Amino acid sequence: MKTLALHNTRYVYLEKAFGEWLSTLGYSKMSAYNLPHYVREFLHFLEERKISDLTGLSSKYIREYYFYLTTRKNYRKEGALSSGYINGQFLALDKFFEFLYHKGMKNLPSLHLKRLQSENLKKEILTIDEIKELYKASEEQEYMTEKQEALNYQDKVLLSVYYACGLRRSEGIALCIEDINLDTRILHVKKGKGGKQRLIPFSPSVKECFTLWIYEYRMLIAKDKTESRLLLNRYGKPTTGELMNKRLASLITKTENPKLKEKHITLHGLRHSIATHLLAGGMDIQKVQKFLGHTSLDTTQIYTHLAEETESSM
């Protein structure tokens, strides 16, 4: 908490040095600002228990802090702390202990802080097998005309944009052909959230999908050859997020998986899914943060407990 005061000069120094260390490693300004504030609450907790030196820290205080976080009142509104806030605390402590080890501090207790679940988010996550089922369904749709065949193929492009590349709904809709470099396999998001740009690498299979769409199928739909938007409606005009969500919902109904059909999956659910799968596959959380275009690492860390569940079920 930003308003908590630390009286231990050693703790004050560690909090500041931690933020500088994060900045040196290339963490975003937001993360380098927020994570030390999370750690301040932990250090304040230790101060209140007369622990003035981290070298004397034991697992007992880690367990007590876990209980403190999961039971303390939310001072901003009624009820307990959100799982997102608590998970942010856990992430901050993980990084703080990594920093302490880097500084040469030994004999620190193990954290083993299990992330709390977010049930609402969990309902929006697809398994890797379910993603494969969606790709399969996109390839097996029936068609009567070449135009319908092209529109069906665009469903596969939808999956590549929103799952494989992890774009936000608005980013995918705004995507233009010139934003995709097939030679380098790099997708350029020119105006993401907050007006920020980012570059996203994509796989050879996604390259093949984009290539077929741009040079074959899309040409069967686009009436105006000067139209640059990647995703189009049946009239050859730029599509909308609402229409793409409907196409995704329709695609889900074409699968043979009853559990998948019960899930409420949107375009953003595909983005949630790739974030979870990347973390479960071992990608560093900071790289996932950059891939998704998150300003703060705190936002990315909400997927960590889902990734842990995914990894354990593999």
Catalytic residue among 40, 95, 115, 168: 168
User: How is residue 175 written in tokens?
Assistant: 């995507």
CA distances from 298 to 38, 91, 235, 295, 307 (A): 10, 8, 41, 9, 15
**C-alpha torsion sign, points 246, 247, 250, 252:** negative
CA nearest to 39, candidates 60, 64, 18: 18
- Consecutive H or E run containing 128: helix 128-139
The span from the CA of 237 to the CA of 228, in Å, is 10
Catalytic residue flag (residue 305): no
Burial (CB count <10 Å: 0-12, 13-18, 19+), residue 18: buried
Please write down the long-range contacts of 181-185, taking CB distance under 8 Å and 24 or more positions apart.
Answer: 182/207, 182/210, 182/211, 182/214
Catalytic residue among 153, 247, 303, 305: 303
Catalytic residue flag (residue 169): no
Catalytic residue among 40, 169, 247, 294: 294
Interacting residues of 73 by C-beta distance below 8 A, sequence separation 6+: 79, 80
Q: Are 200 and 165 in contact (CB under 8 A)?
A: yes
Roughly what angle, to the nearest 10 degrees, separates helices 267-280 and 285-292? 160
Catalytic residue among 147, 193, 263, 290: 193
Catalytic residue flag (residue 271): yes
Catalytic residue flag (residue 168): yes
Q: Are 154 and 222 in contact (CB under 8 A)?
A: no
Phi, psi of 301 (to 5 degrees): -70, -15
Catalytic residue among 271, 272, 277, 305: 271
The span from the CA of 146 to the CA of 83, in Å, is 49
CB atoms within 10 A of CB 259: 9
Catalytic residues: 168, 193, 268, 271, 294, 303
